[in-house]
Chains A and B, each alone.
Chain A
Amino acid sequence: MIHSREEITGDLRLTADVVVVGSGAGGATVAKELSGAGRKVVVLEAGRHFTRADFDLRMDFAFVNMYWYGGQVMTMGTPMFLLPQGKTVGGTTTINSGTCFRMPHRVLKKWHLDFGLWEITDVEMDLYYSAVEEYLFVQKGDKEVMGRNALLFLEGAQKLGLSGGILSRNAKDCEGYGVCCFGCPSDAKQSANVSYIPDAVKSGCEVYTRCMVDEIVVKGGRAVGVRGKLLDPELDVPGPALYIEAEVVVLAAGALHTPRMLLVQGLCNSNGQVGRNLTIHPCNGTVALMDERLDNPKGIPQATYVDEFMDDGIMLEGGTTPPLGIVMGAPFKGRRLAEFIREYPHFGIFGGMLSEHCSSGRVIPHPRDPQRHLIFYNLKGEDRRKFKFMTELMAEIWFSLGAKSLITPTASFPEMRPTDLPEFKKLKAKASDYMGVSAYHPLGTCRMGSDPEQSVTRHTGETWEVENLFICDGSIVPTSLGVNPQMTIFALAMRCAGFVDDRLEELAGRESRKPAVS
């Protein structure tokens, strides 16, 4: 059952085999696998539970209700990136674009060579990916519904000889309502809130919403439960206490909150690795003014991609947004803004993602509020050049398709006409020159590895320092994946669930071997 906050009037005290903190790609998968195996699972989610009936296609409703801090999560550094993260049942899967990629083989090779993760094999991962893909109906987007914008951009790229294609997505019978990031109104997107969580609940899993975990309870070097507070239904004001006693604790609060929780308690950090090694995918977008109507955002917001420079860490992926998303990043105000947005039906919209990079960041708890985090991230070295190159590449494609002008995220060159491109290319790439940029896919802040000095968890997801404490979310992914990570998080969580189940077996065996006390 999914319990709303309103149902619970007093303190919440429960006992379970496993308590899972977080209901996103990692937590939901673990919950479904373990409850399906007959384990008693309790899931704690900080956000509220929304269904398709609640999803009204409004960006403002989604940001205020389903994103952490009303969508105001920013990195500190140059430039500052908006790093939106889901805070609702299903986590970020509920508000992402649904893009599905398997991790490229070369990335797993790097995990083997650099992190000694030889136990994770291609063959094994392929099996997990296949299972997840089948379960989530992963397939290429339907050209009939994806909208003109996506296909036009792909045509332009292919005309220039650039490699690209149609993205695979976890969507079934998608009609292209254009609002994946604000909650799918038809339940076509198979985010965790409509797939893993309902199936976990069918198997007896109990999901509690509006729960904020303050403490992982550790006794004798073993995790034995969590303590925290129930939040007010609407505002993040703490209310009654919660205490869940469990054989195994699974942290799946994502790559920002999982390390925060550990750092607040000083757990698993004797090597100083918790919260470090943060990778994100810095993104920028372009808005092109076309002659023809493209009628965004109706269609699939992220439907096609250009991967010509994937090995250099650059992916272009669609990213249409409603008018509000455009005006927020537009370099105009006043009359010019109104004249600009009037042309919205003629806008071509596409995004670029720095998918592999040399920059990395760090997450720490907020010094005055341990329930929040600070994220430090600077765009360094070659990444600055690549970030600018993404805009150049998108400009080449849009102008080849006849775009009259282009809005860029570059403060010193916010608007570009076809004849301006050579001048734009001459600009020095400066991190401080970007505005209104966002980033996605935080990973790596509790990375797994074979060396306890360099990693936080084993390949199983169990932490080196606290027995029965597992981490099953993006924070264990040790490197940037070069692609959108949700499939890898689902697959790794499925793998981790097996090890949690083994541990529960082991604990049951230990228990049964204990001499009876008279």
Chain B
Amino acid sequence: MLRIVEDTVRSITPHILGVGAVEELPEADPQASVDFMNGWLEKGIPEFLIVTYIAFLALNLYSLIKKGRLFPRLDEGAQAELMENLYEAKGMLAYQLLYFISSPAMSSYYSRIDVQKLLGFDIAALKEESERRLVTRDGGPLPPRDSAAESSSGEGER
């Protein structure tokens, strides 16, 4: 990954997630965002990688124009102010830019088992439960069939 993109991913992560404002949520891990982005882009299409790079470079260009420095070199306050401006911006372009620059941070953070558990989705416990429960095609009597044909005809009930 380009150094400037990597640095930007790292420095943008706490701003995008904003988890410092909510006590229950654990701290963000900027390096995890970088690692996630590397893995994801490797599996994806080249256009996605290009657009993602463009989005991060556009953020840095915006930063240069507005603040005279690249985004990672701004102090935290200036970074936050710049990001607030972006959040306030209307229109699809701003939306798309934010989508691409926020995806690595959000994907890595909200994939975390501890974060999901705090939000009520305990995947470790569910996985454990599912491992105790072996569903096989020929195992035991079938559950009662309640007129699959009728229910799948698309006619609903009122």
Contacts and interface: CB of A to CB of B under 8 A. Distances in A.
A172 B135 contact: yes
Contact of B22 (A58, A342, A372): A342
Contacts of B158: 158, 161-164
B126 A57 contact: yes
B122 to A, nearest CB: 9
A506 B36 CA distance: 54
B18 A336 contact: yes
A139 B95 contact: no
A57 B48 CA distance: 25
A338 interface: yes
A337 B16 contact: yes
A137 B146 CA distance: 11
A24 to B, nearest CB: 19
A383 interface: no
A497 B34 CA distance: 48
Nearest to B121: A322
Interface string B26-45: 00000000001001111111
B97 to A, nearest CB: 11
B116 A139 contact: no
A247 interface: no
Given A102-B149, A165-B156, A165-B157, A175 B119 contact: no
State the majority secondary structure of interface residues on A. loop
A185 B124 CA distance: 12
B152 A333 contact: no
Given A60-B36, A344-B119, A298 B107 contact: no
B2 interface: no
A310 B111 contact: no
B16 A334 contact: yes
Interface residues of A, number: 86
Interface in A145-196: 158, 161-168, 172-173, 175, 177-179, 185-188, 190, 194-195
Contact of A72 (B48, B91, B99, B137): B48
Contacts of A188: 135
State the majority secondary structure of interface residues on B. helix
A311 to B, nearest CB: 10
B152 A100 contact: yes
B65 interface: no
A177 B119 CA distance: 16
Contacts of A158: 157-158
B123 A57 contact: yes
Contacts of B42: 235
Most buried by A among B41, B120, B148: B148
B107 to A, nearest CB: 6
B77 interface: no
Contacts of A69: 43-45, 48
B45 A164 contact: no
B3 interface: no
Contact of A166 (B46, B86, B151): B151
B103 A328 contact: yes
B106 interface: yes
Given A308-B156, A338-B22, A323 B123 contact: no
B1 interface: no
B24 interface: yes
Interface in A278-335: 293, 295-298, 305-308, 310, 322-324, 327-328, 331-335
Interface string B107-149: 1101100011001110100110111011111000011111011
A484 B4 CA distance: 44
A412 B94 CA distance: 12
B102 interface: yes
Nearest to A58: B111
B133 A186 contact: yes
A414 to B, nearest CB: 9
A435 interface: yes
Nearest to A369: B46
Contact of B126 (A101, A126, A177, A336): A177
Contact of A194 (B106, B108, B137): B137
Contacts of A341: 110, 119
A169 B28 CA distance: 38
Given A164-B157, A338-B22, A137 B142 contact: yes
B24 A333 contact: no
29 contacts: A58-B111, A60-B36, A64-B39, A126-B149, A139-B145, A158-B157, A158-B158, A164-B158, A165-B156, A168-B151, A168-B152, A178-B121, A295-B120, A298-B126, A306-B156, A307-B155, A323-B110, A324-B111, A333-B18, A333-B86, A336-B87, A337-B17, A337-B18, A338-B18, A338-B22, A341-B110, A344-B119, A345-B120, A435-B99
User: 3 closest A-B pairs (Cβ-Cβ)?
Assistant: A334-B18, A70-B43, A185-B130
Interface of A: 52, 56-60, 63-65, 69-70, 72, 100-102, 104, 126, 129-130, 133, 137-140, 142, 158, 161-168, 172-173, 175, 177-179, 185-188, 190, 194-195, 235, 293, 295-298, 305-308, 310, 322-324, 327-328, 331-339, 341-342, 344-345, 369, 372, 411-412, 432, 435-436, 482-483, 487
Given A101-B152, A332-B87, 5 more contacts: A57-B123, A70-B44, A195-B137, A339-B21, A344-B119
